[in-house]
Amino acid sequence: MASNILNAKAPVSKRGNAYECVRCQTTKPVINSYKYVVNHIRKQHLLATQCPYWCTLCDYRCDTQEELAKHVDTYPVHKKIVGIQKTSGVTINPDSFFGHSDMPYFISSDDIVAFNKDKSQEHYSQKRKENGRTAARTVEECLKVPEANTLSQQILAVLPSSEEKDEMGEYDAVTVASGDLDNTEVVHVTTVVETPRLESDNSSTTSSSTSSKSTSKEEMDKQMQNFTSQLNQNLKEASKFINKSFKLGEENVKQLTSMVGEQTKAFNKMANELKGLNQWLSDNNEQKTADKDNREIRENMG
């Protein structure tokens, strides 16, 4: 089914280009992919009834009924709500979660503007730099442990002095590339790389300086391996903690679902008892009416 979010004036979506939300009246408007900005406009600047389809449970908004049905069928929280009918006997129709507007608002070039290729590349390049600085701060926080500080001091202790650097050449800075805690098992460390310095014809290298360079580099490599191992261990512990938190959240959802099921059962039981009570009252009233009629008949006959 074709998307109905654009009219004839809407910009053509090109993969890779960046788009800006014109509606944002802030110093930093939302700039991202086409789909991201469209979803942002629907969520932040439009009412649900102005969108083609929306979920009445979580206010999710989309283009087609098929996309909304997939959302309800696959979203874990909604699946649990729909699944209550299997345990409590209460029938819940998934279609009741569907919101639909026959005359939705059409997002156009008045709402979203496309960047050209050069400006898009410039934006994404700047965004990657910002993400890199954020990742660097994350790694720096991971290093705020006594073991890491000790290892850092040990690494600094074996770094060559200025005199040794004159003999050994320039060293590249040590960099740590961080990643997603859930997916990263190994932290890649750019080791210190020796860049030999061009020596003049009259320079000479003694056996003692060669031995000193070799020893320093071996110690530095060993300390770097220890440092990397400790950092990986810290990241793994953080990943375990995050996964444990997610599992606790899932357990809470299960408990809540179970409580809802029990409350629903209790409600159904109470409803059946109330229905039986109403039936008894009705039968009792009918009996009283019949007894009254019989008395009147006997009195008239007497």
In terms of Cα–Cα distance, which of 108, 93, 96 is closest to 55? Answer: 96
Q: How far apart are CA 276 and CA 60, in angstroms?
A: 42
Q: Is the pLDDT higher at 128 or at 204?
A: 128
* 162 shares its domain with 229: yes
Residue type, 81: I
Q: Are residues 169 and 107 in the same domain?
A: no
Residues 111 and 170 reside in one and the same domain = no
HSE (side-chain half, CA atoms, 13 Å) at 203? 8
Q: CB–CB of 177/188 below 8 Å?
A: yes
Would you say residue 280 lies in a domain? no
Q: Which residue has the higher pLDDT, 40 or 276?
A: 40
Asked whether the predicted pLDDT for residue 71 surpasses 50, the reply is yes
Range of the domain at 106: 19-115
* pLDDT value at 263 more than 50: yes
Tell whether 185 is covered by a domain. yes
| Residue 48 belongs to some domain of the structure | yes
Q: Is 170 helix (H, G, I), strand (E, B) or coil?
A: strand
- Are 159 and 242 within one domain? yes
- Do 87 and 32 share a structural domain? yes
| Higher per-residue pLDDT: 223 or 91 | 223
pLDDT of residue 174: 42
Same domain, 159 and 229: yes
Domain total of the chain: 2
The radius of gyration computed from the CA coordinates of the chain, to the nearest angstrom, equals 36
Q: 58-64: long-range contacts (C-beta < 8 A, 24 or more apart)?
A: 63/1, 63/3, 63/4, 63/5, 64/1, 64/3
If asked whether residues 186 and 99 sit together in one domain, one would say no
- Candidate ranges 66-75, 227-236, 263-272; pick with highest mean pLDDT: 66-75
- Identify the residue with better confidence: 80 or 153: 80
pLDDT value at residue 1 = 39
Q: Residue 135: which H helix or E strand, with range?
A: helix 117-142
What's the CA gap between 166 and 114, in Å, rounded? Answer: 53
In a domain, 11, yes or no: no
